[in-house]
Amino acid sequence: MNTEFINFLQAAHQKSSKSGNTIINYTFKLEETNLFDNLYPIAKGFEKYFYWDKPSCGFSFIALGELLSIKESGKARFIYTGKKVNGILSNFFSNDNKINEKIPLFVGGLKFLPENEKSIWEDFSDSHWFVPKIILSKIDNKEHVTFNFIFPPDASNKKITEEFEKRLTLIKQSRHENFSSTPKVIHLNGNSPKDKKRWQESVRKTLEKIESDIITKVVLSRMVEIEIEKEPNIFNFISSFREDYPDCYIFSFHSGKSTFFGASPEKFVELGPEFISTDALAGSAPRGKDDNEDERLAKDLLESIKDLKEHKTVLDFIDLQFKSNDCEISFDSEPKIKKLKNIQHLWTPVQIKVTGENSIFHILEKLHPTPAVCGLPQNSAIQLIKETEDYPRGLYSGIVGWFNRDKFGEFTVSIRSALNIGKKIYAFAGGGILDGSDPAQEVKETDLKFKPILSLFDNDKKS
């Protein structure tokens, strides 16, 4: 038995709450390596897991099992979630390990909007966060294991050490499984010329409202439903994303019978004790067939009045949210280009120095939803989205991410994403509609944004 863990439990008895449960958090290095080559057989035994990866940053983790969860619905979901998080953090004990500041305590996400009706998203709450039982993390090619336990005042060291050994055995004995082939597409709905023409008409009607000054900008999305021959191995998709989109946030959130997954290029917020960083990412163009065409398309994007205007609405929104809170905010006066495999975006990184007390969920509430996924004015855009889209967005264009008790955390806007339930995949893509938008071009833009998901399937129906 790990003597360091026994000593940790003895210290936990001295430090833990005498009147309620304490969460104890123990991180250690496992001599066995390459755990991340064997995630599928480990993860498939859990009803809930959360995977996070940004390959270019050398940081990834998988959170397995639910120790406890915070699920909230309705408009007050940010407030109630924040209060419950604070309550949990008030009774928390961890081993003294500097690596812990980079390891999550809570993982999960929240939907684009609160939803009341039953839908394909019923396995996820409006705000859905959980403390995992096990976290396998990889930081700069070094692998660590974190175990979380509920530690009551009368905690039995024997029971907790038995659970420790049980979890350790689960990790060590998981057998490597070869990835199965990607399932073939049987049927695809929502991507025919007729479907695209119908969506194009929705864009045209939206432009009429913009011309009438009813609304400035709205982001409309499309949904494509893919039926496949068998249930997929999501880690096949993750492997493809890692190779094709190393600069994106790659995520997979599994709950019940559903898995939400994607490769998002957009940082929502990254948090540290004294800083916040975020991205303004709006305005898009395809990649070129060669370097010359690619640079020409990038130059055209940087000079596009419509795309620059769309980008500025997002940047101005971020600026306003933090300036009104007496924070020091800085960003370049001109946008850059962020290049992905099949698309490029106008991009402005934003840095904010925190001068006062800002809780994590207060920050999330201030920014969500940004004009990059919703529009302006916000309430008018939300109403138009509800009237135009005949499906709930759920976690698409919401937020997924992680945070810990040391005020570190990272969240992405959950775009370039899809929901898997059994043999069905529901893929989503959207575009910002504002004065100067061309309905036909907006369809082409959503086609580009569908590619990260549709290109996963080796079938001629994917195009």
Tokens 């939206």 sit on residue: 206
Range 168-178 average pLDDT? 77
Task: Give pLDDT tens digits for 416-438.
Answer: 999 999 999 999 999 999 999 99
Range(s) of the chain covered by CATH 3.60.120.10: 185-232+264-462
Closest CA to 412 of 113, 35, 54: 54
Residue 1 has pLDDT above 60, yes or no: no
**In this structure, which topology does domain 185-232+264-462 adopt according to CATH?**
Anthranilate synthase (3.60.120)
Q: 327 pLDDT exceeds 70?
A: yes
Beta strands (DSSP E) in 86-126 are 92-94, 106-110
Confidence label for 213 from pLDDT (cuts 50, 70 and 90): confident
Does 137 have pLDDT greater than 80? yes
Instruction: Summarize pLDDT for 235-253 with one digit per residue, the tens.
Output: 999 999 999 999 999 999 9
The pLDDT of residue 175:
64
Confidence of residue 274 (pLDDT cuts 50, 70, 90): confident
The pLDDT tens digits for 86-95 are: 999 888 999 8
Q: Average model confidence (pLDDT) for the chain?
A: 92
Sign of the four-CA dihedral 159, 165, 168, 173: negative
**Contact partners, residue 54, CB within 8 Å, separation at least 6:** 60, 247, 248, 249, 250
- Residue 173 has a pLDDT of 77
Those residues whose C-beta lies under 8 Å from the C-beta of residue 79, and which sit 6 or more positions away, are 361, 365
Q: Is the pLDDT confidence value at 71 over 50? A: yes
pLDDT at 325: 67
What pLDDT is stored for residue 60 in this prediction?
95
User: What is the bridge-based pairing of β-strands 275-286 and 343-353?
Assistant: antiparallel
Please give the pLDDT value at position 461: 40
- Output the CA torsion 85→330→250→185 (10° steps): 120
pLDDT at 221 > cutoff 80:
yes
Reported as a single tens digit per residue, the pLDDT across 194-209 is: 999 999 999 999 999 9
Going by C-beta distance under 8 Å and a sequence separation of 6 or more, which residues neighbour residue 312?
A: none
Looking at the predicted structure, is the pLDDT value of residue 462 above 80? no
Cα(132)–Cα(149) distance, integer angstroms = 9
The two three-digit tokens of residue 125, written as one number: 């709450």
Say how far apart CA 203 and CA 275 lie, in whole Å: 38
Residue 48 has pLDDT above 50, yes or no: yes
The helix or strand, by DSSP H or E, that contains position 161, with its residue range, turns out to be helix 157-173
Once rounded to an integer, what is the mean pLDDT over residues 114-141? 93
Q: Mean pLDDT across the stretch 61-73?
A: 97
Q: Is the pLDDT of residue 324 over 70?
A: no
Residue 460: the pLDDT is 45
Residue 9 clears pLDDT 80, i.e. is over it: yes
Q: Do 313 and 244 meet the contact criterion of CB atoms below 8 Å apart?
A: no
Q: Lowest-pLDDT range, 147-156, 261-270, 355-364?
A: 355-364
Residue 459 pLDDT exceeds 80: no
Residue 280 is which amino acid?
A
Predicted local confidence at residue 431, as pLDDT: 96
